[in-house]
Structure 1
Amino acid sequence: MGAFLDKPKTDKKNEKGGSAAFKYATSSMQGWRVDMEDSHTAKIGLPQLPQWSFFAVFDGHAGSKIAEYSSQHLLDHVLSHKKFQNFVNNGEQYDEMTDEDVKEAIREGFLNLDVKMRELSTTRNDNDRSGSTAVCVFISPKKYYFVNCGDSRGFLCRDSNVHFSTEDHKPGNPLEKERILNAGGSVMIQRVNGSLAVSRALGDYEYKNVESKGPTEQLVSPDPEITVVERDDNNDQFIVLACDGIFDVSTNEELAEYIISRMELHDDLVKVCNSVVDTSLNKGSRDNMTMILLTFPAAPKPSQEAKTREEEMEKKLKAVVHEICSEVKDEPLDMSALMQNLAARNDIENLPPGGGVFAKRCVVDAVFKEYVGKTAPEGS
């Protein structure tokens, strides 16, 4: 559930890096939540596997301990598996690990990490009730291994379309609900026992105490769903990994379109990520927000045509906002009403796809200040 602040915290933490094969950037923002419970991992070139990379977003709930520990140790639990160790020891004999070997290592890495964190919590006697979703991608020279446990999400954009997306693990999903009921639980208001909104997660040990059931048969399962996607270096554009604070207010397609439109303006990936986070806040997200963007050589490039189109759109938007504000005589201006008015109009062409006027809140706000003498409170 979570508690909320009177005003969102909009400071962002960023990270960026890259290699010859791809570039990446991250953005994290606390938003309206009282605490920041997200964490993430970004590793280019894995220990003893320099051609592999790993990226992950962890969305914590009821605390940040599980998310933080997972971000620091999940990769180690996967790489220490005998399948990866055998591959490393005999690596010169093979181009790629088999998909089944990689899946086995990832799956057991998740399960072993979950056991380890439970042991640590018991040893500390801290009664930690936190849990965390996880969405990850392992990148090998030829494949992507998408991994999902919970309702954070990852997708691949190829040829300007969402080519693949992970599926959220929600209690109302038929297979998830069947497992929950078989473990003696219930699904009410789309939540496990009427409380937890995800059906798979690391941690959440109060939902993993059915003695007659195995670790993947509990009310909440740490079992990840793993999908293998062949790389297409000529057409793969970017991968997004993000928590539900992003996807609560945007579909996969909307987010992909918005990212493409921003990349056509500039090649600053941090700026693109921050724009997604800000736009998500403006669209109504009340959650923590974390996003990782990985781009490949086929990603959209900046163009003067796109920049000119954006400039003309902003000029038109400013004129419309001036017109609306100047017509308000006797009643005080209301930013929320103004944004809704603008969102309902159809005479402002070339607003960012997937973001609309909410992606241009700063432009609206600049004009709004001229009429009220100060910036409108966020979310007002």
Structure 2
Amino acid sequence: MVLRTMGAFLDKPKTEKHSAHGEGNGLHYGLSSMQGWRVEMEDAHTAVVGLPHGLTDWSFFAVYDGHAGSRVANYCSAHLLEHILSGGAEFGPGPSSVEGVKDGIRSGFLNIDEYMRNFSDLRQGLDRSGSTAVCVLLSPTHLYFINCGDSRAVLSRDGKVGFSTQDHKPCNPREKERIQNAGGSVMIQRVNGSLAVSRALGDYDYKCVDGKGPTEQLVSPEPEVCVLERATEGDEFVVLACDGIWDVMSNEELCEFVRSRLLVCDDLEKVCNSVVDTCLHKGSRDNMSVVLVCFPGAPKISEEAVKKEEELDKFLETRVEELLGNCGETGAPDLVSVLRSIASENIPNLPPGGGLASKRSVIEAVYNRLNPHREEEAVSLTPHRLWF
């Protein structure tokens, strides 16, 4: 299949997903990623349960959102963890080691950034790629949230958002001050009017100001590290995601949506796939990646929730059948018209945070079954024509 482009976008989204799952150290995780409307897939991820160097009861998860290419994101997904672990920190038990671990994380980021700078294609400017990184490092007692850029991590604790990393945007006062001190400017909310993030790995075009250290450049590779003690009873799950997810869902919406899915499905791959599909249908035009890490306190399947979900699906199926059955001589309405008609109704028990967008697949499956010979509707999934 030849994929034509519309500027920076394809004329049809690539909806194939890469998904996986695993468990260990009392955790269960799932992940999913989709290229979507973008011409290239530039996201990457890491999921490791049980770390080397004797840290078998530690785990590490990360999402990397690449830009201007995938080189930096892919290298970090394979090697950032080893740079962190070799950063000179003592990854031992007890609160006395927390600051040491934070120092090791910071050193790992600075070291990998300096290491990649020596790659010939990056050094010569043949590859100008960069990447955000959002990670969670889990010890038996602590959660280390690590952020560099505008991907984001959120912790669900006691049924609500218990913590969120803060995006590194050029307009943030502290970020803007550093950029200006390095001789740069912030225009149209971008570094020098170009780059939308103020911290990232790679992006060496923005890291060549003489007389400034690595953390004083226009774009800094320094991560922000926040440490929380684990709450055995309250901790439910952590979500790591790139901005392709956060562009269309708030922290609260995504946590509510994930929680509602965990009540009806214990397959974390499927839950993550549902997040990605829902964000596509909500209008995200970026690559999309999500990693979901569930603690023992995560919501469990509820018979009542499963029953409500089945009733909702049946209701939506019936509405599609009614809309197509009442079309008369005018012919069957197109899928977008059906979606818009249902979206105008007051439908109870839609998944919180996901809404009708999370049920598009149900509606589309019935529509396709009743219209097996219809022509493909190119307009039904465009980023410029939303239906809700």
- TM-score normalized by the length of structure 1: 0.92
2:152 paired with 1:153: yes
> Among 71, 80, 89, which residue is 2:86 paired with?
80
Shift, 1:189, TM fit? 1.5
2:146 paired with 1:141: no
Paired position in structure 1 for 2:249: 250
Shift, 1:56, TM fit? 0.6
> Among 11, 18, 40, which residue is 1:13 paired with?
18
Paired position in structure 1 for 2:381: 379
- Which runs of structure 2 are paired with 1:283-294 in the superposition (5 Å)? 283-294=282-293
Letter in 2 for 1:157: S
Distance 1:332 1:195, change over 3 A: farther
Distance 1:316 1:132 in 2: 43
Distance 2:326 2:216 in 1: 62
- Which runs of structure 2 are paired with 1:165-180 in the superposition (5 Å)? 165-180=164-179
Paired position in structure 1 for 2:344: 344
Paired position in structure 2 for 1:26: 31
Distance 1:320 1:300 in 2: 31
Q: Deviations over 1:204-235 (max 9, x none)?
A: 11111111221111111111111001100111
| Deviates further, 330-339 or 181-190 | 330-339
Structure 2: tracts of 5 or more residues without a match:
1-5, 383-388
Q: Deviations over 1:140-198 (max 9, x none)?
A: 11000000000100011011101000011111112111211221212122111111111
Shift, 1:122, TM fit? 5.9
Paired position in structure 2 for 1:62: 68
Distance 1:185 1:334 in 2: 50
Shift, 1:327, TM fit? 4.7
Distance 2:332 2:308 in 1: 33
Distance 2:36 2:354 in 1: 18
Distance 1:3 1:123, change over 3 A: closer
SS at match of 1:170: coil
Maintained 8 Å contact 1:325/1:371: no
Distance 1:310 1:147 in 2: 36
SS at match of 1:50: coil
Distance 2:208 2:324 in 1: 59
Q: Deviations over 1:88-139 (max 9, x none)?
A: xxx5xx5455221111111111011111100123687462100000000110
Distance 1:149 1:62 in 2: 17
Distance 1:259 1:183, change over 3 A: same
Maintained 8 Å contact 1:36/1:288: yes
Shift, 1:4, TM fit? 1.1
Distance 2:14 2:199 in 1: 28
Paired position in structure 1 for 2:3: none
SS at match of 2:220: coil
2:363 paired with 1:364: yes
Please report the RMSD computed on the Cα atoms of aligned residues, expressed in angstroms.
2.0
Letter in 1 for 2:223: P
Shift, 1:376, TM fit? 4.0
Letter in 1 for 2:59: S
Count of paired positions: 372
SS at match of 1:51: coil
Structure 1: tracts of 5 or more residues without a match:
none
Distance 1:133 1:202 in 2: 6
Distance 1:182 1:124, change over 3 A: closer
SS at match of 2:128: coil
- Which runs of structure 2 are paired with 1:1-380 in the superposition (5 Å)? 3-48=8-53, 49-84=55-90, 87=91, 91=92, 94-95=93-94, 98-121=97-120, 125=124, 127-328=126-327, 330=330, 333-346=333-346, 348-369=347-368, 370-371=370-371, 373-374=373-374, 376-377=377-378, 379-380=381-382
Shift, 1:337, TM fit? 4.1
Letter in 2 for 1:33: R
Distance 1:209 1:259, change over 3 A: same
Distance 1:24 1:97 in 2: 29
SS at match of 2:293: strand
SS at match of 1:54: strand
SS at match of 2:298: coil
Distance 1:219 1:137, change over 3 A: same
Shift, 1:16, TM fit? 1.2
Distance 1:121 1:54 in 2: 29
Distance 1:365 1:305 in 2: 25
| Deviates further, 317-326 or 232-241 | 317-326
Distance 1:327 1:207, change over 3 A: farther
SS at match of 1:98: helix
Letter in 2 for 1:140: S
- TM-score normalized by the length of structure 2: 0.91
Distance 2:200 2:14 in 1: 26
Distance 2:224 2:50 in 1: 23
Letter in 1 for 2:160: N
Shift, 1:326, TM fit? 4.3
Distance 1:154 1:231 in 2: 15
Q: Deviations over 1:261-295 (max 9, x none)?
A: 11111211111011111111111111111111010
